[in-house]
Structure 1
């Protein structure tokens, strides 16, 4: 791969830039990602709620690595490479063969899960405690005392939690998770995601690069083209800004480019129309066509707005009344909302992208998020996940499982299916000889550009560079005309 070339871009990515397609279609690039990128970054690997009891475990797979995450005490988690140090067999996986199935996992499953107080390799019966140390090695004396704790233990991986999510990093020298997540973590802390639980989680294997799938959710610029049915609720013009390694979007105004809590949240009321009705209709549509970005309580409270408020009530007052009404409804059923000020709501914006592969929409009682991963090192495939979180009365949290869905638009919520419809066509388009490079919107798609600037720092390739200025473009056009004239003269 070739390293970054061209002029450097500004820290805030405010200029018009371009970047090439290698990150999406190059097999060399995809094969370099495990070592250069995924082995060095913090990645969201699951939810704490999945590991309730000592011995509970899940696996997280990325490229050709599998990570085993276990609850070793009531208060702590550990993570290890899911591989036996003896001969390299995965400890947890699809256990076919002659030995007993110590861990069951169906072929094609999203991940493994279960409860074990020790892990035994089905190949030669090496057995490991929850702290990763070898508890039993058959005929250990055959090594003549040459085996030690280091070479016989499972290889550790960093593990930490934030927002109720489990995060791993294969680089044991990497800095703390909190340091990695800032300043995004501070913007999102008020939402208390750790008190939320899975409402649904769906996944599939898609025929596109993981970045193509992720980028489908990194900006609102695509709403007018991909989700035209939502335009009746108002203007989806948005800002997009860099926040360290991460980035965010929020609703904006072409005239003012300034925000309020009502204007920047996913609950934005529509333009000049009666906000009592537009909020109600938009919430109903979200619930019916996404199944996320809202809750049943919020939808029901929105439907009462035309009855509870007089015509002409300002949008900000409608918005405030709606949230206060929904808060009371939830309190009555045993669900407490966190205290989030208008300023904190506005600061969080519409959606936040956490580098490298997660994008989430925050709400006072919900979150809808997407996580995308490579499928091995195939540049033309990825693992796509859509997850909705919600707040539930204590003891009424649903038991959910990962549900597999083909890349069939009928198997996904309508709005998500609309996004999926672009993915394969983008992947195909990137291979066209007629495509000269990406031209992201300098105001509304900085999240996309920031993704590629960050990737270039790890991959040493694909850095965004400024688009040539008008004078350069004029000169390029003049040279093209000269070349074309010369060719025409030659043919004549």
Structure 2
């Protein structure tokens, strides 16, 4: 059976529907224009479901998290009934932001300006001099501005559109495909955030195509580079699967677990695949000269040993999911590589004032089965399983975001500058860049008032 037949075989997930693309030139102004960014803000960012917080980081009623999206700040807070509500982070008195930290715990939110006190359910509990208001005591009349909020895969999602569809309708096929992993139980082992000197779409364009993989991420000769690239993933577009959902999301599947890319000149399996094979009871030397056999062998080993090692969800995965790289791009600004034992979280948030900048997050989540030992592999190297993970926020260049991501980031600024050039006449895209075109078609549709996730209903 050929690799193409394997990828399209019955063991994989159902096909996503075929999409007819209109084609897109990716004109430079889309990345540089303040006017275009304003259209995106009013018609896109305020109309879609956005992944913001993490439920497990708010275990107790009164725990809260705050995150920014463009010019808005959103506070998510655990309620006494264990549900989570989301509010705009703004006092209804004179517009002061209520909190400035990333997270905390509060019985009430006290405005730092005039000490108005807001309960965690958004109701107003106290104001100074309540008898001095011509309209009467504000308590009982005013509430914090609440926005739709749902929890899925352990993450908190919000939508600034009061007439939005449900999160499940918005996610489409992604909902069912992610549900089987039990991601809500996975823990965070890496969290790094920086500001990039590029428009958010430069980042998302990159994660919507694989055309750059064999150039930007090709081995440069250093040992660490060889260790990273020899992961057993077949990055060829001829054997990769590219899908686009009606709702605007994308999926790419690359065959994984092959020793072929990690075979040295003596025919031996290289790292890190050799270590992975040993972890699942397989001897790399047994596959000398036959690297194509490692994928199926690793699938069988994980199928047999996984549940007893605490990976009960392995029983709910198809064979492909046990080895292959599943890369999703969720419209508009979230990308994730979903591995059998890792969730690579990549998010680009628009800058509040400058279309030439964005906030960029590189996080890693992984399961932590009872009794598990050894470090966790992340995009920034091995991390101790019991290590406390702090959210690291730093200026670009002050710290590594992780080897692979650093390589991506090294390309971005020059592309942003090129988008300002009169010499750039628009893109000429390959088929494997179709999801890039689709992203921009979705942006245009939102600006025109068309939302495919609503039109399906």
Interval containing the TM-score (normalised by the shorter chain): 0.7 to 0.9
Higher Cα radius of gyration: 1
CA distance change for structure 1 residues 337 and 146 in 2, over 3 Å: closer, same or farther?
same
Counterpart position of 2:62: 55
Q: 1:408 Cα shift?
A: 1.9
For residues 277 and 328 of structure 1, the distance between their equivalents in structure 2, rounded to whole angstroms, comes to 27
Residues 302 and 322, structure 1, Cα contact 8 Å, conserved in 2: yes
Counterpart position of 2:333: 357
Residues 235 and 271, structure 1, Cα contact 8 Å, conserved in 2: no
Q: Specify which of 211, 214, 220 is matched with residue 201 of structure 2.
A: 211
For residues 61 and 31 of structure 1, the distance between their equivalents in structure 2, rounded to whole angstroms, comes to 17
Aligned partner of residue 440 in structure 1, secondary structure: coil
Counterpart position of 1:115: 105
CA distance change for structure 1 residues 415 and 340 in 2, over 3 Å: closer, same or farther?
same
The reply to whether residue 458 of structure 1 matches residue 446 of structure 2 is yes
Q: 1:301 Cα shift?
A: 2.3
For residues 455 and 126 of structure 1, the distance between their equivalents in structure 2, rounded to whole angstroms, comes to 39
For 1:144-186, what per-residue CA distance to the aligned partner results, in whole angstroms no more than 9, with x for missing partners?
4545667521000111011111101111211111111112222
Higher mean displacement: 125-134 or 394-403: 394-403
Higher mean displacement: 25-34 or 120-129: 25-34
Counterpart position of 2:158: 168
**Structure 2: unaligned runs, 5 residues or longer:** 1-16, 220-228, 372-384, 450-457
For residues 447 and 171 of structure 2, the distance between their equivalents in structure 1, rounded to whole angstroms, comes to 20
Aligned partner of residue 380 in structure 1, secondary structure: coil
Q: CA RMSD in A?
A: 3.2
CA distance change for structure 1 residues 59 and 453 in 2, over 3 Å: closer, same or farther?
same
Q: Specify which of 404, 407, 415 is matched with residue 396 of structure 2.
A: 407
- Paired residues in the alignment total 407
The equivalences for 1:441-456 within 5 A come to 441=430, 443-456=431-444
For residues 276 and 147 of structure 1, the distance between their equivalents in structure 2, rounded to whole angstroms, comes to 82
Residues 195 and 359, structure 2, Cα contact 8 Å, conserved in 1: yes
For residues 450 and 203 of structure 1, the distance between their equivalents in structure 2, rounded to whole angstroms, comes to 27
Counterpart position of 1:241: 243
For residues 407 and 39 of structure 2, the distance between their equivalents in structure 1, rounded to whole angstroms, comes to 31
Residues 57 and 116, structure 1, Cα contact 8 Å, conserved in 2: yes
Task: Give TM-score scaled by structure 1 length.
Answer: 0.74
Higher mean displacement: 317-326 or 411-420: 317-326
For residues 218 and 137 of structure 1, the distance between their equivalents in structure 2, rounded to whole angstroms, comes to 50
The equivalences for 1:91-130 within 5 A come to 91-93=98-100, 105=101, 112-130=102-120
Higher mean displacement: 373-382 or 78-87: 373-382
CA distance change for structure 1 residues 452 and 54 in 2, over 3 Å: closer, same or farther?
same
Q: 1:280 Cα shift?
A: 4.7
Aligned partner of residue 356 in structure 2, secondary structure: strand
Residues 57 and 114, structure 1, Cα contact 8 Å, conserved in 2: yes
For residues 176 and 275 of structure 1, the distance between their equivalents in structure 2, rounded to whole angstroms, comes to 53
For residues 302 and 179 of structure 1, the distance between their equivalents in structure 2, rounded to whole angstroms, comes to 38
The equivalences for 1:372-391 within 5 A come to 372-391=348-367
CA distance change for structure 1 residues 14 and 154 in 2, over 3 Å: closer, same or farther?
closer
**Structure 1: unaligned runs, 5 residues or longer:** 1-9, 94-104, 106-111, 252-262, 285-296, 462-492
Q: Specify which of 318, 343, 348 is matched with residue 294 of structure 2.
A: 318
Task: Give TM-score scaled by structure 2 length.
Answer: 0.80
Residues 25 and 209, structure 1, Cα contact 8 Å, conserved in 2: yes
Q: Specify which of 427, 430, 442 is matched with residue 416 of structure 2.
A: 427
